[in-house]
Amino acid sequence: MILTGLSLLLVALAGGLILEILGDKAMNNLPIFLAFGGAYIMGLIFLHLVPEAFSFSSIAGIFVLAGFLVQIFLEYISKGLEHGHVHHSGHGKVLKVLPWAAIISLCIHAFLESMPLAEGAVAVSDLEHQVNSMGGHNHVHVHGSMAIGSALFIGLAIHKLPVALVLMGLMKSIGSSPLVRWGLLSMFGLMPLLGMYFYDGVLHSGMHIPGGVGGFIAATQGLVIGILLHVATTVLFESGEGHHFNFKKLTATLIGLALSYATLA
C-alpha cells in the first residue's frame, strides 16, 4: 500500500517537473493526452470497476449517482482542474491569488478516488471471511487486483499526471514560490495514500458496518465509479479547442479504450 501511494506521489511530482522543464510547451498536446486518459478511464469503469462493485452488492448503483453528484460539487469549486482546465476568474482573467478552495477540492477528489487501491493490501482470505460472515455474500471472490500495476492504478496515474501539470502551471502563473509550489503539489500527491489508509482502517476496524464489508466495498467502489465517470465524460467531450473531436483525439480515444480492454485479466 505504501509503495502504491508513493508511486502516485511520484506521478504527481513528475507532472510538476514536466511543467517546470517544458513550460508552455507541456500544454500543447495536453488535450490529446487527456482524451487518451479519459477513454482509458471510461474503459476501466465498465470493464473493471462496475462488474466488481456490483458483484458485492447492488447498492453500488446508489453510490454511483452519489459519486457523480460529489464530483459535480467538487468541480464547481475547482473550476475543472480535475480534467485539465485552467482556473479563471469570473471575468475570464487568470487568477492572481492561490485558489485554496480549488486545491482543497482536488485533494478531496484524489483522496476519494484512490480508496479502493487499498484492497490490494488486504489479505485475501481475511477479507473473504469478513465478506462472507458480515456481508452475506457466499460466492464473492475477493482478490488483490487494486494494488500497484492494476487497471485502477494505471487509470489514476494517467489521470493524475495532467492534473499535476495544470496545477503546477497555475501556481507558477500566479508567482508562487518554488517551496509553495512543490509543497502543495506534494500534499496533493499524498492524498491517495491517505485515502488508502482510511479505507484500510475502516475494513480492519472491526466496527459494525451497515450492509457488512461487502456493502462497504460496493458503496466505496460505486462512489469512485461516479466520480471517475464524470471526469471521463467531461474530458472526452470537452478537451481540445472548440470541443472538436478531431482525428488525433479520435485516435487517442481508441488507443485508450484498447489499452483498458488489454488490461482485462
Residue whose C-alpha cell reads 492534473 in the numeric block: 163
Answer positive or negative: Cα dihedral of 252, 15, 226, 196.
positive
Judged against a pLDDT cut of 60, whether residue 127 lies above it is answered with: no
Q: How far is CA 216 from CA 11, 65, 106, 202, 213, in A?
A: 28, 16, 24, 9, 5
> What confidence tens digit (pLDDT) does each residue in 136-157 have?
443 334 444 456 667 888 889 9
Domain boundaries, the chain: 2-81+95-262
Judged against a pLDDT cut of 80, whether residue 230 lies above it is answered with: yes
> What confidence tens digit (pLDDT) does each residue in 250-260 have?
888 899 999 88
> What confidence tens digit (pLDDT) does each residue in 192-225 have?
999 999 998 888 877 777 778 888 889 999 999 9
Q: Distance between CA 102 and CA 175 in Å, rounded?
A: 17
Q: Are 83 and 231 in contact (CB under 8 A)?
A: yes
Give the pLDDT band of residue 83 (cuts 50, 70, 90).
low
State the burial class of residue 73 (Cβ atoms within 10 Å of its Cβ: 0-12, 13-18, 19+).
Answer: exposed
Three-point CA angle 48, 49, 53, nearest 5°: 125
Q: Are 135 and 214 in contact (CB under 8 A)?
A: yes
Residue 69's pLDDT is what?
95
Model-level pTM?
0.81
Q: Distance between CA 85 and CA 143 in Å, rounded?
A: 36
